[in-house]
Structures are given as structure tokens and as C-alpha cells.
Amino acid sequence: MEDREDTELELAMTRRDFIVGATATAVALSANAGHSGDASETGPIELPPLPYAENALDPYISSRTLSFHYGKHHRAYIDTTNQLIVGTELAGSPLEKIVATATGDAGRVPLFNAAAQAWNHGFYWKSMRPRGGGSPSGMLAARIDASFGSLKRFKELFTDAATTQFGSGWAWLVAGARELQIVKTSNADTPIAHGQKPLVTIDVWEHAYYLDYQNRRAEYVGAWLDHLVNWDFASENLVQA
């Protein structure tokens, strides 16, 4: 019975993704009517490879979830971004510039949503690693203690941000001017659209965890913090802040 329910759930999510993907493609093709060339072949943005195998995060994130999330969702954001920039001044630009240019532009909301989500997902994969979690070290550990009082308190605040983000979105650890901060963003919104330096992020859209955890978002967030978060990646970003 459980296998049947899982299969029905996956089919339902796949049907929803097909509808969402088809709608995004239709918007992109309409916006670029009159431009020649196949955007999926000529677009400059490429789907980055995962930094680990699809089964490397088991049992905390399954290979089925990762394959679905990376191979369908992330790829769709990349493809839509490429379709929307064909024949524009942004063709050939890096994702960061596309996001910055589309931010706040009412005429480019579909482009912002696609490009920001493409960027967010690339950052999310790097925010995790096999046998992650544990405790940060060095400057990052000191900054977490100074900003939040302790690693335990940071985890409490980060968990609260990730679990109380209503609907779809993200929770982030970012480097502020004087201290580290925890922020959450809705839908495709991203700290780089607001001049903030992200260190790590967790995706709390349902497609990031639902096949593994169903509605138990808090359980997913706990597993992410205890077993997956990539503190080395966060430290590298802090040095660059």
C-alpha cells in the first residue's frame, strides 16, 4: 500500500511539473517570438553538474528526490532562462548579472523567477555534502558564536526560519556588515538580489523534501542541519564576503 501511495504521489507531482514546465516554456517562447535559433541549444547558461552522486545524500535525501529535483526542476529553470534571454542584451551574461538586471523589473518577472531559481539551486547543491553536518570551525565558528550565542542557538533560529517560511521558499545564512544573519525568502527571491552575501541555504519548496518526508518539513530541516550542511562551503563564502 505504501509503495502504491508513493507511486501515485510521484505521478501527481510529475503531472504538476509537466503543467508548470509547459506554461513556463509557453511564456518564454511568446516573449521571444520573432527571434531565430533554438534557445535550448544556443543559450549560454548550462546546468552545472552535481558536486556528488545522486545517491550520495542517502538516507537523508534520497536519490529519487535528488534526481527529480535536479533533473527536472533545476533543468527547467536553466532552460527557461536561456529561452527568455535569446536575442536580448543579456544573451551570454552570467546568471548573477541576469538576476541583478531582472530584479525589480515588472516586465521581467518570468526571467527573474527562472534565473534566480537557477542560481538558488546551484548554490543549494553546494550547501550540502555527504557526511556533512557536525560543527563549523575557525572563523565561521567564531562568527556564529558571536552572532547567535552558540551553534545550538543558531540551529534553533535557522530551523524556525526554515519551518515558518509560509509556502515555498528558502532559508539562508548570510554575512552581514557586522554579524551573520538568518534570512528567509519566498519563492524565487534570493539574497543576491538584495546585496547580501549568502553562506549556505536550504530549499523548503515541497519538491525538495516531499517524496522523502511528506509534510514533515521540520524533520527534513533537522536532518539537513545534522547530516548534510556543508560548513566548508560556508567558510569559503565567508572568507570572500
Evaluate whether residue 112 is within a structural domain.
yes
Q: What span, in angstroms and rounded, lies between the C-alpha atoms of 102 and 110?
A: 9
Q: What are phi and psi of 225, to 5 degrees?
A: -70, -40
- Domain extent, residue 8, equals 2-49+62-126
Look up residue 118 and give its three cell numbers. Answer: 537557477
Whole-structure pTM value: 0.83
Strand, coil or helix: 42: helix
Let me know: does 74 contact 118? Beta carbons within 8 Å.
Answer: yes
Evaluate whether residue 145 is within a structural domain.
yes
Evaluate whether residue 14 is within a structural domain.
yes
Evaluate whether residue 103 is within a structural domain.
yes
pLDDT in tens, 167-181: 999 999 999 988 999
Strands across the sheet containing 180-186: 180-186, 169-175, 197-203
Q: How many domains does the chain have?
A: 2
Q: What span, in angstroms and rounded, lies between the C-alpha atoms of 171 and 219?
A: 15
pLDDT in tens, 103-146: 999 999 999 999 999 999 999 999 999 999 999 999 999 999 99
CA distances from 20 to 13, 15, 157 (A): 10, 9, 33
Residue 150 sits in the same domain as residue 233: yes
CATH of the domain at 188: 3.55.40.20
Look up residue 235 and give its three cell numbers. Answer: 567558510
